[in-house]
Structure 1
Amino acid sequence: MKAGIAATVVLIGIAISSTASAQWDTTIQDDIFSGDKKAMLLGNISPSQAVAFDCDSDGLSLAILQEEKWADGRTSSEWKLLIKVDKGEIHRFTVESAKRNNQYTQYVTREKEEILKVLADLREAKSVIQLGLQSEEFDSKWSGTVSVGGSTRETDKFTQACKLK
């Protein structure tokens, strides 16, 4: 009896620690416009930054999200986004800065074929996902990383909901 309780406690501890270390999360909802699903796959970079994959009736997108309000009168600008999973190839995107919502600015692309390659790499990720964002116009560079914790499971959920398989 005590062995059964101990095993249960160990399994609960493993489940809680696995969930706590997961850096990826997928949300799935019904899409009223298409009758299918819409989904978002979110990878945490920091408390104020994330990488987001979205799909809905309008298509597929990839964005770096930054917690900051979009200033009135601010115009979009072009940036380069680089993503590398483990020791794989560097995926390169042209992204536009834009308002995501009242709290977040985004750097977004809809380059579907390259986004699909990144999703395939995420599904197989073993150690780290590196991100880079740069602007020649502003002479600015930023880089960050996302843990691979939960990336396989959550990428599978996202690609299934979006019918990308």
Structure 2
Amino acid sequence: MEYRLSGKISEKAFYEMQRFNVRKTKLVFLLVFNLVILAVFLRDTADDSLFFWIFTAFFLLAFNFLLSFLMKYTLKIKSRKAYRSGKKLNGLPRQVHITAQEIQQNTSFSTMTITPDMVYKVAHNNNREIYIYLATNQILILSKDWLENGEWADFITFIKKNWEPKK
């Protein structure tokens, strides 16, 4: 079986990839932050009143909301800046040809060939994109909108069977 995809990496797709990559780090950061804040609150206060616990819960929720918003906003700014710094590369139309033995990506100035043994990991984002990691900072994005032949569900099954690294 072989599949063909073609398209451009949009700024939105680039941002979604960045957001996908930092989701676990963000969760761990918020968890550790909350535990530290709770330990500080509980260590200095021996108040058992209902008002104290409601205030503490409200404060933590508000601060988490604010922190999450700031993290998302700064990621969006950094992602936009990174995308625009490589706009000539990211905005180029690319053709991707995938078989069980290789992935070949062509742009107007380069050709890249990937074999299954070069793949570090494969991740799926909201059933719209597949990320093939060659290293932690080198990713091949395959978008559902780019697929020229075949069904997306069959394509996902094909990628899982042939391209996910064997553990």
Structure in which a larger fraction of residues adopt strand: 1
Q: Which has the higher contact order (CA 8 A, sep 6+)?
A: 2
TM range (shorter): under 0.3
Task: Compute the TM-score of the two structures, normalised by the length of structure 1.
Answer: 0.28
Q: What TM-score does the superposition give when structure 2 sets the normalisation length?
A: 0.28
